[in-house]
Copies of this chain bind each other. A is one copy, B any other.
Amino acid sequence: MTRDEQFMRLALAEAQKAAENGEVPVGCVIVYKDQVIAAGRNRREKGKSALAHAEIAAIRRACRVLGGWRLWECELYVTLEPCPMCAGAILNARIPRVVYGAADEKAGAMGSVFDLFSFPLNHKPEVVSGVCAGESRALLQAFFEKLRQRPKKKWNKNTQPPEQT
């Protein structure tokens, strides 16, 4: 197993925990000098927040651990290609290396829908894609398959609608 696969397995374990909590399974770890210093998983439904993505949770914790907003000696591992918000957070935190698993054709901002780092911004990390992508996709597919088998909840405009796939 490569070094990147080893760390990605830890991110996959976070994704698995998200699935067990009824959340879309995406997990993330942040590595500093070969040590995992922060982990995060998607908890958008339970956390009731548009910001509760795995990468945001992990970046918040890593900033706390290192005592500042610059994570310029860290690597970020995430099971799914980051969305625009998370790619932007990686940019703002000056993370120099990002490793992701499965591509996200609907919302991926590191090559799928567009590539954030193709624009003249003030930071450009190294990006490695496709690490343990099969395992990441399998987790997501199993989650959505289970979701489709559930009876649909009804909702009205005065409450939050049920989760979307």
Contacts and interface: CB of A to CB of B under 8 A. Distances in A.
Contacts of A60: 49, 51
A103 interface: no
Interface residues of A, number: 44
Contacts of A68: 48, 159-160
Interface in A112-126: 113-114, 116, 119-122
Instruction: Tell me the number of copies of this protein.
Output: 2
A88 to B, nearest CB: 3
Given A50-B71, A69-B44, A92 B83 contact: yes
Interface in A35-70: 44-45, 47-53, 56, 59-60, 63-64, 66-70
A59 B51 contact: yes
A91 interface: yes
30 contacts: A44-B69, A47-B69, A48-B63, A48-B69, A50-B59, A50-B69, A50-B70, A50-B92, A50-B93, A51-B63, A51-B89, A51-B92, A51-B93, A66-B160, A68-B159, A83-B88, A83-B91, A84-B85, A84-B91, A84-B116, A85-B86, A85-B87, A85-B88, A85-B89, A85-B91, A85-B92, A86-B88, A87-B88, A88-B88, A107-B122
